[in-house]
Amino acid sequence: MNLSPLQKARYEYVPKLPGMLRNGIAEICVQNGEATTSVADQDKIKSLFPNTYGKNEITFAKGSNTSVAKKQVVGVILSGGQAPGGHNVVCGLYDALKATDRNNVLLGFKGGPSGLIDDDYVEFDDAFIDAYRNTGGFDIIGSGRTKLETEDQFKVVTEVAKKHGLTAIVIIGGDDSNTNAAVLAEYMAANNTGVQVIGCPKTIDGDLKNEDIEASFGFDTATKTYSELIGNIERDANSAKKYWHFIKVMGRSASHVALECALETQPNICLIGEEVAAKKMSLSQIASQIADSVEKRGNAGNNFGVAIIPEGIVEFVPEFSKLIAEINELLAGSNTEKFNALPDWDAKYAFIENGLTKESMAVFAILPQLIQQQLFLERDPHGNVQVSLIESEKLLSALVKDELAKRKAAGTYKGKFGALHHFFGYEGRCAFPSNFDADYCYSLGYNAFMLIQYGYTGYLSKVSNLSKPAEEWVAGGMPITKMMNIERRTGEDKPVIRKALVELDGAPFKYFAAHRDQWAVETAFTYPGAIQDNGPSEVCDITTITLALE
């Protein structure tokens, strides 16, 4: 393999562990915390998880290790979308396992949860692991989105675990993946398989977060990567002085990524989906808000700017959500085939006009034709509109252009408007992890093995106090059921981990709200630059602004 100088240097980086995990395996003890309850729907969650519900939170501390020594054979999977640092979770797990007993074994199941079902795996050794330390991506074993949720799947996984003598399974993933981990842990406990299940919190979207989980891994690196790119675009805009850049960033269900990037770069506009929903803003109101900034800047001779758009913004707009719901209903069953068989867009438009309510048709009619057609692209497996395929950045710039034309005709807008569009998503998912994510992920993996050694199951590996230096981080675990509630999914009530949305009364949003009016008019851009791996700690180990403010 040909290695870049950076890759060689990153292999040699030694991740920092929390202080209590640096004492050596033999000197780590457990301190019990309070018993837990689920975040909502306590009776229902308790009835679904009788063997794993209500357990204590725990913290690791310096002291005599009282766990029972035994050979450990652990399976690990990467589940869901990629996030920087995933390799270091595996490396930390491997190092802790081997530091306890060189005869312990770590098996990596390939392609996500399906690897457990298909018994497709690799046994890790030092050389294999060393090739992936501190690197981005999930290519060490690959990932996948198969859900572990049926009785038949659990039986297959149980047989695979029995075949290899697995004592534990570690699932590295987001909210859905860790929901699966909780369900699998309950099944394993109910059937006395002796197999423990531990989860690790991953997602660049930042929505796997609560009072216990201060940050999901990958968020730090991804937002810093996007912010570097946004800063580069801001500098170009301030140099060329002739374009408005509409930049869509990852985050379908929550706007954490957009908010952090705004705090890092101070753009003229950043939309926060949770605020749009709370204020019940329409598309026209959003376009008018952006147009206000364009008009003020243009009339001052500044015909350029930057607007950050969260990926899922349209789902937060009440009128648009209603439109999508009606389209899903309109194309239910055989109607999809009827619609697709129509000869041209005019015929399809008439079909749509006949099937939507007057209110939703009014919303549909103001959309550019490109966006109208995107609403009728390939459906998801449940027959619903794939909102992620909608180019919301182009939708909003088109609406802004129309609004500005009205203002120009009225004589209030005297500037020029030209728009360019960008979507930053995959650019950040597999970047070399920042020092923070390299350290945090390694600690999560190391800590996961400590949970296994002490016999816990249905727990999430937890490392907190993250805004402090790594020496002061606190390692431990929390029952996954603590984060769960009941939600309606595909027509059924199901236990799931509650997603964390941007809190409008939280410190990060309040800081943003206090400064955005100034940013909207002035050129207040900041340029974060590339992630730094070497140098003073205040540069290389800095956390996200979101975490610092929280």
- In angstroms, rounded to a whole number, what is the distance separating the alpha carbons of residues 528 and 232? 9
Kind plus residue range of the DSSP H or E element containing 247: strand 244-249
Per-residue three-class SS string for 250-282: CCCCCCHHHHHHHHHHCCCEECCHHHHHHCCCC
- In angstroms, rounded to a whole number, what is the distance separating the alpha carbons of residues 462 and 36? 15
Catalytic entry in 176, 205, 207, 439:
205
Q: Is 205 a catalytic residue?
A: yes
**The pairing of beta strand 168-173 with beta strand 244-249:** unpaired
- In angstroms, rounded to a whole number, what is the distance separating the alpha carbons of residues 484 and 46? 10
Contacts of 328 (CB under 8 A, 6+ apart): 383, 384, 385
Q: Which residue has the tokens 């030092």?
A: 126
Contacts of 426 (CB under 8 A, 6+ apart): none
- In angstroms, rounded to a whole number, what is the distance separating the alpha carbons of residues 399 and 417? 12
Tokens representing residue 12 in the block: 């040699």
- Residue 450 sits at the vertex; the CA angle it makes with 445 and 454, to the nearest 5 degrees, is 150
| Partner residues linked to 108 by β-bridges | 76, 122
Q: Which residue has the tokens 């600690």?
A: 443
Phi–psi pair at 31, nearest 5 degrees: -115, 125
Contacts of 337 (CB under 8 A, 6+ apart): none
- In angstroms, rounded to a whole number, what is the distance separating the alpha carbons of residues 331 and 334? 7
Measured CA to CA in angstroms, residue 391 lies from 249, 346, 370, 403, 526 at distances of 11, 22, 9, 19, 26
The closest alpha carbon to 54, from 481, 506, 484, belongs to: 481
Burial of 282 (0-12, 13-18, 19+ CB in 10 A): middle
Tokens representing residue 541 in the block: 């180990």
Q: Give the Cβ contact number of residue 242 at 10 Å.
A: 12
Q: Report the greatest alpha carbon distance in the chain.
A: 80
- In angstroms, rounded to a whole number, what is the distance separating the alpha carbons of residues 455 and 446? 15
Q: Which residues are catalytically annotated?
A: 205
